[in-house]
Amino acid sequence: MKRIFLDTNILVDFALEREHGDDAEQLLQRGLDGIISLQASYLTFANMAYIMKNKVDVYELFNDLCKFISVLPMDEKQLHTALTHRVHDFEDMLQYQCAKTANCDVIVTNNRKDFIEFSTLPIMTAEEFLKSME
């Protein structure tokens, strides 16, 4: 089963019903149905809590998401590896290190440009990934 790493923006798009929210919802449904294995980092949930403060009940949302999304650990080694790369978006480098350590097959994000400069993993939008499953 493919291990899909979800970038923060995919889950925020779903929760706040933003522009790409429908694609994110379809992706999450495939995870819920057991077709793919969904992964996200602890950092994702911290980022979401900050972004969505006072917009949704993050406790209820996170409890629901954690029923079918595996929450991956982050550690000092990942941080130190990320620090060896000078990239445009350090947070994305941290997410990448987490996905790579967890042997994820692909990173799904709606912010491809910040990952493309360094990722050896495939980077796809939710829409692109869903089309690849057809």
Instruction: Return the pLDDT at 114.
Output: 86
By the 8 A CB rule, do 107 and 99 touch?
yes
91 has a pLDDT exceeding 90: yes
By the 8 A CB rule, do 12 and 52 touch?
yes
Cα–Cα distance for residue pair 2/106, rounded to 1 Å: 8
Q: Which two tokens stand for residue 10?
A: 């995919």
The whole-chain average pLDDT of the chain stands at 95
What's the domain range around 95?
Answer: 3-133
CATH at residue 100: 3.40.50.1010
Cα–Cα distance for residue pair 49/39, rounded to 1 Å: 17
Instruction: Return the pLDDT at 105.
Output: 98
Closest CA to 5 of 131, 128, 126: 126
pTM for the full predicted model: 0.95
Q: Per residue in 6-47, pLDDT tens?
A: 999 999 999 999 999 999 999 999 999 999 999 999 999 999
Instruction: Return the pLDDT at 96.
Output: 96
Q: How many domains does the chain have?
A: 1
Identity of residue 112? R
